[in-house]
Amino acid sequence: MKTCISAKEELLNNNRSLWNSWTKINAKSSFYDLEGFKINKNSLKNIELKEMGSVEGKTLLHLQCHFGLDTLSWANKGAKVTGVDFSDEAIKLANDLSNQLNIPAKFICSDIFELSKKLDQKFDIVFTSYGVLTWLHNLNIWGKTISHFLKPGGTFYIIEFHPFVNMLNDDWTEFSEPYFYKGNSICSTQNGSYADTNEQFVHLAYEWPHSMSEIVCSLRQAGLVLEHLNEFSYSSFNCFPNLEEYAPDQYVLKGKKDSMPLMFSIKATYMPELIKNSN
């Protein structure tokens, strides 16, 4: 019997297959430096450490955790962590690392939009970071997913590449893409991985760029009140073309320091009583 799947599921299945392959490439890349992580047990950057503050004793849900390095880093800093990702390869490696390093963590393999079917818990913190939003087709559902898993008064934190970056062409020499999309996916051919561009690997990717107002409004509509929205003129990672490091973990386009927004962060508090007022 043929199984009937929707167009959206097909795109999701394609992306899951891409991330399963990228997990294997990324795990052996110097970009992720797994051996270094096994010694330092920290993959978090100074920005998120400073902006998040202490997580000691807090319950933390990490959405789109990849193979769990940041999740395990928060656990190592005293949080009781749950990491979620739709890549089974990534979740398998995250569980292996948790066991190997003896860092307690729960990992769940799920599309984040399906998570409420698999997880029944409220958290002090929902965290997500670096390279997550363009894989999500609908930010209104994303906002509702975040508030669904937060306790009233709980904290949401994201640090992410700026939507501005999505407008640049592959080698960052000109603007080639519109800032505003109307919900349609864009398809690209990925050669290698962002963590290892030399790897012989080709796969399609489907992404959904989102504007800053879409991001902020989806959170506000879900009852999340912004404590801060910060923009940064550098990337924490050397994962775009033609970047130079002008300070530790601060990469800018060569000769273009302070000229464009490369990342943003948002910290917000869940106030469920505001949901009714805003509708």
| 127 part of the interface to ligand SAM, by CB under 6 A | no
Q: Tokens 């530790």 appear where?
A: 248
| 129 part of the interface to ligand SAM, by CB under 6 A | yes
Site string for ligand SAM, 76-115 (x = CB under 6 A): ---------xxx--x--------------------xx---
Least spacing, CB of residue 164 vs ligand SAM, in Å: 18
Strand positions, DSSP E, 95-242 = 106-109, 123-129, 150-161, 186-191, 202-207, 224-232
| 241 part of the interface to ligand SAM, by CB under 6 A | no
Segment holding 104, helix H or strand E: none
Least spacing, CB of residue 71 vs ligand SAM, in Å: 9
Nearest Cα residue to 159 out of 129, 196, 198, 117: 129
| 192 part of the interface to ligand SAM, by CB under 6 A | no
Q: What are phi and psi of 162, to 5 degrees?
A: -70, 140
Distances (CA, A) of 109 to 81, 93, 117, 177: 14, 11, 12, 32
Q: Return the number of the residue (129 or 235) whose C-beta is nearest ligand SAM.
A: 129
| 124 part of the interface to ligand SAM, by CB under 6 A | no
Strand partners, 107: 83
Write out the residues near ligand SAM by the rule CB under 6 A. 15, 19, 64, 66, 69-70, 85-87, 90, 111-112, 129-132, 135-136
